Structure 1
Amino acid sequence: MHSDCWYNIALTFIPSIGPITRKALLTEFELSKNIFNASKKDLLAVKGIGEKMVNEILQWNNPSLVDAEYAFIQKHQITPLFITDESYPKKLLECPDAPTLLYYKGTANLNTTKILSIVGTRMPTPYGHYIIENCLQTLPKDVLIVSGLALGIDTIAHQTALLNGFNTVGVLAHGLDEIYPPPNKLLAKKMLKQGGLLTEFNCKTIAEKYNFPKRNRVVAGLADATLVVETALKGGSIITADFALQYHREVIAVPGKITDQRSRGCLKLIQENKAAIYTNPNELLQQLNWVNSIPVLSPEKKALIQLMKQQEIFSMDELLQLTGLGIGSLSGLLLQLELQQIIQVLPGESFTLMPAFYST
């Protein structure tokens, strides 16, 4: 007698049946086991199920594939997440083509409240690197960072998330028995302890070209929003953004030089009103309604904030002169405001008020 998990895996091995059809079958029969034990008449009664599909279900006889996958996930302590499981990512459930079965290994909660996908070119510029570093130094640490573990922007997003104390999940276009690209094997190992790896592909599945769009839809569907950092007019990042739009998720694109090929995709998304413009992390928080309530401020902090509204950037000397405070008192106030994400410290010991607080 096979377990429910065994039948769940088996359902994904029937070639002509995709996630939408599997969902229809599960709606009718509830359990994968019931699908395999159903009669031809009952199967044909399901809307969208043709005779070819029914015959594939009835004639399917390749249990060794399922046995191998079942043994693999048990040996490597991989968690199977079936679409009817309570632990299946809730945001993905909202997508009509959500994967029927996901394989997950990691520590992050895939149902956490705030999830941001970061995607972009495999050949980023220092500008793209700076955008991600600046963003992840400001976002609250309870945001889960998702990307595709590819070289370039994906790698920078995962690495920067780890360095700044975020959980980060990589969505793969292959099975969990390998890591692609190979240079990211060490990064993936670190992510297992501070995030995780997620895939809909069984072991022995290699990173073939047609798997990447499937991977991209999970990157988009798993998150509240997709941040596109740098991308050309075509490529995986644009595909991910298109999926996010189909799923009614926020798409936010980083503007760049009009002469830079790696910014043209972002600029086109903005130009066509498919994406909001990314300007800074605090604006991103406002766009996603992730802004905490305005903190209670002391009179000294309120006075300093009012002063800093008068111009964009202040040096320490300017603030000392304008406030009349001692260096110790001013430094303490500035540190507190920085920790509250009300001001930002810039290179050269200068300070600027975050845009969200110009109206407070």
Structure 2
Amino acid sequence: MTEDEFLAALRLQAVPNIGDLTAKKLITHCGSPTAVFQDKAQHLLKIEGIGKMTLKGLHDPNYAHEAESEFEFVSQEKLDYSYFMDKTYPDYLKHCADGPLLLFHRGNIDLKNKKIISVVGTRNITNYGSAFCEAFVEEIAPLHPIIVSGFAYGVDITIQKLAMEHGLQTIGCLAHGLNQIYPKAHKKFVSKVKENGGFLTEFWSTSNPDRENFLKRNRIIAGISEATLVVESAEKGGSLVTADLANGYNREVFAVPGRFSDKYSTGCNNLIKRQQAHILTSAAELVYHLGWELEAEDAKTPIQKQLFVQLDETEKSIYSYLQSNGKQLLDLVAVECRLPIFKVSSTLLSMEMKGLVRALPGKLFEAI
């Protein structure tokens, strides 16, 4: 998009009564952001859902000045931005009617990989939640997914740090402008995140991390990915809002179950009980539900069994057991091979990528 069109899009954002849905409607009708300001009011009022109150302020010079100031900030900071019609705009988010008109981003974000997962949860992560995150990322790493979260305390920063440790791209969706970082305690992770992905936001440099911004930001986390995973949540919380939004976008939602007596498992257990989320105890289950095991790393060709593949001792043990015993439960494989479940899960996922085993419904696996 040209600078003139970008400035016009910013002007639309600045007008109080024009949100993302209305802005897109005006642009679609007129053909471009600049055309909206060039068209006559009587023509715009003929658009369904557009009234005088909507257009109030459209030509107010104060909002034009605000847009110009933000334009200068973006230019000076050399920020990247994506317009909702651009090729660089996240594909999954394009299918969300209320997706942001504009997204601003820093870092090395590359969304060519369609394997994108949003991981959310409580800010008060427990040892149980941390252990699950560690096992999950280790299992899923061979598929090189993009991990999206909110860069907040608890589950967010835990999953994003683990993603970076395993060389995965991670994206932090912020509830404020790119001129600041919240929480401040996470500034030490900023450069590493930008190296391994980056940050994106719809908010201007004039926006602060206010409560309503976090709730608004959640729709981006839910909409930008193929699936949302809730690791831990109390009975109420922002992660449940994100799960609800993901369901509204017809995306897959997963939740990690916990003991009924654990405060931060209540939200997840309720999602599962109400059939608003798939129960998730290992990455292999997510891989199965999303059909990722049917794809190669380049997402173009089916995984083929590699002949004469080099196996380590753990892989040899598991493969030999499955060859001799046929379809077997994950837990039973772990018991019979005398290996911890998290190790068996990650090894089986790696073996799937090599075309040696196949995941089946019900946590069953078989040698190919």
What TM-score range do you get, normalising by the shorter chain? Answer: 0.7 to 0.9
Note if 1:151 corresponds to 2:160. no
- Structure 1 residues 62, 223: closer, same or farther in 2, change over 3 A? same
Tell me if structure 2 keeps the 8 A contact 1:230–1:254: yes
Distance in structure 1 (CA, Å) of the matches to 2:160 and 2:170: 6
| CA pair 141-306 structure 1, distance change in 2 beyond 3 A | closer
Q: How does 1:1-360 map to 2 (within 5 A)?
A: 3-139=4-140, 140-291=142-293, 292=295, 293=303, 295-296=305-306, 303-307=320-324, 309=328, 311-313=332-334, 338=347, 341-342=350-351, 355-358=363-366
Once the two structures are TM-superposed, the CA of residue 298 in structure 1 deviates from its matched residue by 6.0
Separation (CA, whole Å) in 1 of partners of 2:111 and 2:45: 35
Is the 2:45–2:52 contact (alpha carbons within 8 Å) kept by the matching residues of 1? yes
How has the CA–CA distance of structure 1 residues 295 and 146 changed in structure 2, closer, same or farther, with 3 Å as cutoff? same
Kindly state the Cα deviation for residue 258 of structure 1 after the two structures are TM-superposed: 0.4
Q: Distance in 2 between matches of 1:232 and 1:116?
A: 21
Structure 1, residues 322-341: CA drift from partner, whole Å, max 9, x if none?
xxxxxxxxxxxx99x93862
**What TM-score comes out, normalization by structure 2 length?**
0.84
Residues 256 and 280 in structure 2, CA contact (< 8 A), matched pair in contact too: yes
Partner residue in 2 for 1:331: none
What one-letter code is carried by the residue in structure 2 that aligns with 1:306?
Q
Distance 1:51 1:60 in 2: 18
Extract unaligned runs of 5+ from structure 1: 320-333, 344-352
Query: Is 1:254–1:279's contact at 8 Å kept on the other side of the alignment?
Result: yes
Counterpart of 1:330 in structure 2 is none
- 1:233, distance to aligned residue in structure 2 (A): 1.4
Provide the rounded CA distance (Å) in 2 between the counterparts of 1:297 and 1:135: 28
% identity of equivalent residues: 35
Aligned equivalents of 2:277 and 2:239: distance in 1? 13
Contact 2:255–2:279 under 8 Å retained in 1: yes
Q: If you compute each CA radius of gyration, which structure gives the higher value, 1 or 2?
A: 1
2:190 maps to amino acid = A
* Cα distance, 1:250–1:116 mapped onto 2, change above 3 Å: same
**Match of 2:79, as an amino acid?**
I
Contact 2:139 2:347 in 1 (8 A): no
Structure 1 residue 315, shift from structure 2 partner: 7.5
Write the letter of the residue equivalent to 1:274.
Q
Partner Cα distance (1:113, 1:87) in 2: 13
Q: Distance in 1 between matches of 2:211 and 2:334?
A: 48
The answer for the alignment partner of 2:300 in structure 1 is none
Instruction: Tell me the CA shift for residue 84 of structure 1.
Output: 1.6
Given that residues 257 and 263 in structure 1 are in contact (C-alpha distance below 8 angstroms), is that contact kept between their aligned partners in structure 2? yes
Q: How many residues align?
A: 335
Q: Tell me, what secondary structure is at the counterpart of 1:57?
A: coil
Give me the whole-angstrom Cα distance separating, in 2, the residues matched to 1:297 and 1:158.
Answer: 35
The Cα shift of 1:43 comes to 1.2
Of stretches 25-34 and 104-113 in structure 1, the one that deviates more from structure 2 is 104-113
